[in-house]
Chains A and B, each alone.
Chain A
């Protein structure tokens, strides 16, 4: 049979007469017409809505759930935020708390957060394509849409679009933001917050103007090759310099260094030399290091390889291989001489003590560190090449270097990095084509994106990289355009400076490295903004002479600075006069003291109603509480007015205190104040005074 005849037969059979032709055409038309509704019926969102209806029909509260359910395309429209989100079309159970046991998407109940979807939309936090009505378009990166949903670990970045302050619920974002300053990212990359303020560095990289006074060229070479070999806590990244480049940069840095006119005391240097071979002096030096609480700020690696100590100052494990003894003794004597703005306090050590500490620190050396470094004296060519490298790598973005200007905008500005279009990214091989993967990969291994890139290699953990990615993603176009009524601006940094002679002393002792006053300062020690309302004069004088700890479980303590009586008086007068709280009313306290009955009542309240002994010690034989300060001497330490105000509302006086507010009556607060003020430290103290 030939084909044409076959066709002819079919044509005759089907379209032989008008009626059958019409019938056939009707069938074809019907099928064509059915395609649209069928497509609609099979659309993702329809399938999910039918699934939802089936799901809720089996629940005990089906009637309520069905009443809440609205079929069809749903939409959250927030014109001022530019939000058109149809996510609720499929995610029908977002607000149904009774479905919180359902663990399959798209039917999960949205976990409680501080915002409602109808106020913020969905894509503001989750990204993705809000207007899409198919699964692929809404969640994934497609040809027409490059912004897929944010993985859960980057969600905190979205909080950071509006909240420029740290939030309790966003630990990752807080960490990332802190790191932008603490690891010096912002020295090279400008990052502006939506309110126009610029994020500033908090790492305080040292000036290199007098670096030759401090250390040797060999040490600089080793440090440049890899800062981690000297200290695992180094914040300086690895620039991956070749041996020749490191040789030349070290040559230039030494050549540009100028003398620093340090005070060199031979007696201290002699003493320091003796420490090495004298066991008695070594013990003495170690205990001076301990008593001075150097470890509150500086860490040292112990025999087990664990770092012990604080991270305010640099790690001292191998300081003896770095610092020159002359520099070290001058630094220990008065650090401001070398670096006027250092965070290190000026201890008033005598020359012998300076020698002891210098000797002790010089002993913390690693013989292997510089053993294999042999540098010939530098040629002018090498120095010139070193200078070129210093310019190329932007060293002066962080460090002060003689003859090199601080470069402006050395690296790309990152104010909008969180919304940079993916098609503008030069993505390294093997990195998925999404913005967050790009940022993470770039932080992890910057030079993988091109051999000529200058960005150095950091040694961040996976958690730190995620935290930084969160912080960077929060700096995006939306953050810059969101209405200011919806945002919480960053806390303006405090530029508080204490005044007068006392102010000079406070700067010299660097009290603000540990204590916060009027919004400025560290968080290691108590906030002193209202210290003057809090403590009694006698106690404060005594405390400066010999600072002992108030909290039994605390390891870090205030060091003894060996202040003179005149200095102590200046500080005490200033603190008592200036650091006064308006919430503490001295005049409202009874002038004539408290009646024994009131003291007794306070004792009852203390032990039974309020259970204060859970956290505090008042009777050192019986009480054991370890959380709050010991109260055995509280009557000679604190003012009655402060104690009363504290009883009424401790959080109003110190926002971060662990002590809860009790909402107690004035009578209870007075009785407790009476009891606490009667705690003067027992007979021992009295005997001492007499």
Chain B
């Protein structure tokens, strides 16, 4: 990077610009485990500083890579071409929570759980709940359009972003959207920015929709002989016109993975499990829980467990929550995919995955948000055997092809980043890519914002 650029950044930020090798190493990775060393790390305090950093980037042509908590799974915050990692950690204020008009105004560095907790205290709810909610940030959630378990009923981050303040690649500060329940004034720039992975603008403030906090919830754990039956139960539940607030499916591979680590007593022959939750007013929740249990039994459940108190519910969640920690015991490296297929094709996809695992001789652990058709496909490898890694990557590519063929999408909630860039065109087609690139040029003509993401580049390293 041009030393003059570093000097100018230093003048702007003082000791909030760090160039020591140690700090650069600490901002070289995310949850993908890949590493790219930035030239410097900037910790701006406010939108004006973000704006001036981007202006300097245009003058001196260095990349600016926004980063929240570095908890992403697609490499969105990795500085693949060096430059400046712009950390939003110091912009972590909740500016306002408006309980009358049901919205919150927050800075990008606010941790998702912090907002959820502040909302809860006021009897309100911010529903998006990505698995990393205790440490991921709202800015990162918006950039990647994070989902979560409650998406089946409440939708994803996109559905809660009413308006944004963001610094575009040009260094202009734009305000988009509304602070009202509705708004259709011109193009929807808010949605344009949500999920754009920091390639179009850097969010400096967000207006987020809140809901009243549901009164109560009931959790059910239904155990099935196989995925056919649990997938059938998912369809039966939809047919019963009940919308659970969580609908998590674990197949045999995931159950085995948990049982090896923290055994949960299960009936013999359990090959698939559905974790269901319904929330809302007391009376209707109990009725809906009955309907869910009925649908599960009619679809062939071996057993249905049910809890409405906090401790009992947590006990049922244990099976689901233990999967991710348990994965590490299966193999050190996971290729973590988040495909989505139409709900009606879930059982077919699980069958395809089982066959693929044996054909490619790799261990694949599957679980996910069945209500959304969103499956986390984890191809588990040692990471030290190049031949095995190659087979695993081939398997992943086949999963993508099958997903698109079934009318699904290759990323439900992780984003494209660098991990899936080679497959972007497979899903959106050449024209789709071309339109996206034209938009990118309009928001960020010099390409200073998060270069090397979403779109395939020759010098980019896959995995």
B and A form one assembly = no
**Chain A interface residues toward B at CB < 8 A:** none
